[in-house]
Amino acid sequence: MKEMAKILSVMLGLCFSLTAIAQPHAEHLLVELLRNPLGIDKASPRLSWRILSEERNVKQTAYRVLVASSFAKLDRDEGDLWDSGQVFSDNSISVFYDGKALKSDAEVFWKVKVYTNKGECDWSAPARWQVGLLYYKDWDKRWIGFDRYFNTDDHQAGYLSARYFRKEISLSKKVAKATAYIIGLGLYEFYIDGKKIGDQVLAPGLTDYTQNVMYNTFDVTEQLSGNNHALGVTLGNGRYYAVRQEKPYKVKDFGFPKMQLQIRITYTDGSKQTLYTDNTWKGTTDGPIRSNNEYDGEVYDARKELQGWASLGYDDTAWIPAEYVQEPGGKYESQINRNMKVMQDIKPVSITSEDGKYILDFGQNFSGWVKMRVQGARGTEVTLRFAEALQEDGTLSRDNLRAAKATDTYILKGDEEEVWEPRFTYHGFRYVEVSGYPGEADIDDFMGRFVYDEMETVGEFSSSNPLLNQIHKNAWWGIASNYKSIPVDCPQRNERQAWLGDRPTSAYGENFLFDNANFYVKWLEDIRLSQKTDGAIPDVAPAFWRYYSDNMTWPSAYPMIADMLFRHTGDVRVLQDHYPSMKKWMDYMRARYMNDKGIITKDSYGDWCAPPATIEAGRGKSADKKYPNPVLSTAYYYYLLQLMADFSVHLGNERDRADFLQQATQIRKDFNLQFYNQNGGYGNNTLTENLLAMYFGLVEEGEKVKLADRIVEIIEEENDGHLSTGVVGTQWIMRTLTDMGRSDLAFKLTTNKTYPSWGYMIEHGATTIWELWNGNTAHPQMNSENHVMMLGDLLVWSYENLAGIKSKENGFQTIRMKPEMIEGLDSVNASYHSLYGEIASNWSKSKSALEWTVSIPANAKAEIYLPTKNLSAVTEKNKKLQDHKDIEVLSEEAGKVKILAGSGVYHFKIKL
């Protein structure tokens, strides 16, 4: 029995999730999954584990969690902090720690015993977490930095040189354990004895520093094994020192770079000491990073290198004492989302040269920077300029970067061979122009560094349709490129803001590809903190730009992403934490913008970036025109009321639920009265307006057929088989058509290669997803080649409706598998790494049979819709379905047999 179900626990990727890992071959997963459980600052972290078993129908029946203050105690099965006792429950992903209050910086050990319907497991192997700094007073020391300009700074242009700080320390005793907590703003790099701590880049994550600032935690026990050590920190601007100075009314500035660092040490004799930054640290601004700016790039003068500055014995007499400076104002929090990292090296595919300048082509649009190898005379200046595209003459096309200079400069010190990459900037690009390079440049002298938040790719999708596969590939690159600790709209131009409206549905689709739960939990917190006391939510959060337009559709990301996280990860805390602010925002919008006809009148952008009717109509034109439309705002309000009603159920708030539903009923009536045209269709009768009315259930039952006909008419006749939706409509189009029984038409949209379509972008060289359907001919002013918003619900549809992997309950504990078998699509292979384990659906169809392999992880089950009317046409592993005792037939309806299957791998064959 014990062999059958091996437990291993996982670091769920949710901030408060912790892991116990068990049993022999869990080892490799330990490395993979048990990321950095340091600095957990929740009083009651969420514990999760995963049950591994090859057997069918494995269900957890009970668990027991032990949490101890030492490994020895845990080993003796003493849960001195918490012993949950045996709890009869199938919950394995959301068990909240409910033991003694935890202390700042304490190390905590835990394990779990799982009981299943197939037997009892051994105790899992132990896991641990380390508590973060729970109180403001834990950061009771002063901030250091320089709250002023130096002659190394270009005050006029708004450029600062990097700040370098150092300090040598002596430890009199042997260190048993040392943990470093650092807040380095805007961006930091931390060194001990000349070696960088951690492999993160551009850390910490971005926040509105007047609201919250994030600290990072490192175990530095090994690095502090001797008596004498040198500590060094470099500070870059990030967005703390405003990246743009020319519009102070628009772009937030927080001040000059600054830091706090503390190292909490326990010596082998049990005594403790904490080291803090103070004015015995010394600093300089006269180092090699002469200027650093997220949009404009970095200037690095290697002649100014401070050889050995972060090591022992460096002569810092020219440095000045660090100064005590203003604190940032926001509360200090442990960073729950992982930092960015260089996630992939990308070699250029070609190098060409003309007039002493080189053009590198990386063959792929992505974000990050270039690492360069160079050799030449001291003082030689090499310039790297970045772009997404080339002009016809082969030079860079940079108009769409607007004011972003996207230029890195390296000045040689004249050594043998110099290797360099920037630290405090990034660019969105495919092409790089290199000028001033001494001697002959070789393709191998350059390496693209793809930088995004450290996340696993958790989903795979492929099908018999190569174009659909290519769209997925482009989507993956585009999404990853725009993870910059916040979901930015684009990584290249002078914008890079986390626009709410780009993500309500995109985030949902992205979650099928990336392990992004913590990332979005963090972003919801950014949104919550950007809310004004009256309830207003901006279009951009963190609110680096002051864009409080009182829009309805953009802030819908707030409840919609909360909904996605709850459904995909079962984390009820997301709802608990955000419900009050979401409700406040809904009330605010209603109070301010509902007219006496029950319509929400305020909309800011309309169906943003809807495609011009023809390429010609949009040629050379900027897409920044807004067409606000109260049909959209009212429809969204209605949809969100229903989400809020759902949330209230999960939070046990019956009164609110009734209130939201009652409001919804009224709005539905008013919406129809006001906007329904008797000949079928809503408002201006555009595709988007009609899709919303259909998908949200606004249309009266008796008018549904007429509305469906109108939707089909627009696509098939008016648009000649194409979509005509912008950012709003595209979020619903694939699922609406599918619900209407027209998945064939949805599929048609993905196979189009003519304008407007995803295929059109690819036909015209896109390697990511464009901001505009007509991105190749529109005005460059607003024309990024790397946005995610136009993905709409394509990814959601691919996973849920083509593969048939949809969460029905509790973060995929119950899965709904109902793939659409569409004429022309012969196979789909997809998988998704849920918190319970891998879910897979691979089907392929021939004239006579459908073969479908399904994997369901332990402690989960699936409702599987077999596309046949005839139960006896189905076999599973060559045995008639009826003869399988462990598979329950739930219903036979609408040409499908619905069965319930527990965990395991199933091979279905259906005669067609």
Per CB under 6 A, 778 contacts ligand RAM: no
Peptide bond into 756 cis (omega under 30): yes
Name the amino acid, one letter, at 710: R
Per CB under 6 A, 607 contacts ligand RAM: no
Of residues 506 and 634, the one with the C-beta less far from ligand RAM: 506
* Binding flags for ligand RAM, 453-492, as an x/- string (CB under 6 A): ------------------------------------x---
Q: Which of 366, 429, 499, 566 binds ligand RAM (CB under 6 A)?
A: 499
Per CB under 6 A, 603 contacts ligand RAM: no
Of residues 88 and 249, the one with the C-beta less far from ligand RAM: 249
Structure tokens belonging to residue 568: 């995909």
Stretch that binds ligand RAM, among 47-55, 349-357, 382-390, 495-503 (CB under 6 A): 495-503
Half-sphere exposure of 292 (CA within 13 A, CB side): 29
Cβ distance 160 to 153 under 8 Å?
A: yes
Half-sphere exposure of 629 (CA within 13 A, CB side): 22
Of residues 335 and 549, the one with the C-beta less far from ligand RAM: 549
Stretch that binds ligand RAM, among 129-137, 209-217, 493-501, 527-535 (CB under 6 A): 493-501
Q: Cα 747 to chain center, whole Å?
A: 27
Of residues 68 and 766, the one with the C-beta less far from ligand RAM: 766
Cβ distance 139 to 104 under 8 Å?
A: no
Q: Which helix (H) or strand (E) holds 229?
A: strand 228-236
Stretch that binds ligand RAM, among 497-505, 644-652, 741-749, 811-819 (CB under 6 A): 497-505
Of residues 50 and 496, the one with the C-beta less far from ligand RAM: 496
CA distances from 11 to 502, 569, 787 (A): 29, 13, 30
Per CB under 6 A, 502 contacts ligand RAM: yes
Least CB distance from residue 244 to ligand RAM, whole Å?
14
Q: Which of 45, 205, 501, 611 binds ligand RAM (CB under 6 A)?
A: 501
- Cα separation, 514 vs 795, in Å, equals 12
Stretch that binds ligand RAM, among 205-213, 217-225, 499-507, 801-809 (CB under 6 A): 499-507
**DSSP assignment, residue 142?**
P
Of residues 333 and 771, the one with the C-beta less far from ligand RAM: 771
- Cα separation, 698 vs 707, in Å, equals 11
- What would the DSSP string read from start to end of 587-627? HHHHHHHB-TTS-B---SSSSTTPPPSSHHHHTT--S----
- Rg of the chain taking only CA atoms, in angstroms: 29
CA angle (679, 681, 685) in 5-degree steps: 115
Per CB under 6 A, 789 contacts ligand RAM: yes
Least CB distance from residue 545 to ligand RAM, whole Å?
9
Per CB under 6 A, 495 contacts ligand RAM: yes
Stretch that binds ligand RAM, among 50-58, 79-87, 451-459, 494-502 (CB under 6 A): 494-502
Helix (H, G, I), strand (E, B) or coil at 846: coil
CA distances from 3 to 25, 26, 118 (A): 12, 13, 10
Q: 């549809």: which residue's tokens? A: 797
Of residues 542 and 819, the one with the C-beta less far from ligand RAM: 542
Stretch that binds ligand RAM, among 142-150, 206-214, 496-504, 656-664 (CB under 6 A): 496-504
- Cα separation, 603 vs 688, in Å, equals 14
Number of residues that bind ligand RAM (CB under 6 A): 10
Per CB under 6 A, 296 contacts ligand RAM: no
Q: Which of 771, 785, 793, 800 binds ligand RAM (CB under 6 A)?
A: 771
Name the amino acid, one letter, at 268: T
Per CB under 6 A, 632 contacts ligand RAM: no
Structure tokens belonging to residue 563: 């909904």
Stretch that binds ligand RAM, among 437-445, 458-466, 498-506, 582-590 (CB under 6 A): 498-506
Least CB distance from residue 558 to ligand RAM, whole Å?
15
Least CB distance from residue 499 to ligand RAM, whole Å?
3
* Binding flags for ligand RAM, 551-590, as an x/- string (CB under 6 A): ----------------------------------------
- Sequence-ordered strand ranges (E) for 100-174: 107-116, 119-120, 127-130, 143-145, 163-170
Least CB distance from residue 607 to ligand RAM, whole Å?
12
Q: Which helix (H) or strand (E) holds 33?
A: helix 27-33
**DSSP assignment, residue 445?**
G
Of residues 6 and 787, the one with the C-beta less far from ligand RAM: 787
Cβ distance 623 to 649 under 8 Å?
A: no
Per CB under 6 A, 605 contacts ligand RAM: yes
Chain positions 661 to 720 lying near ligand RAM, rule: CB under 6 A, are none
3-state SS, 468-508, equals: HHHHHHHHHHHHHHCECCCECCCCCCCCCCCEHHHCCCHHH
Of residues 433 and 771, the one with the C-beta less far from ligand RAM: 771
Interface with ligand RAM (CB under 6 A): 489, 495, 499, 501-502, 605, 608, 771, 787, 789
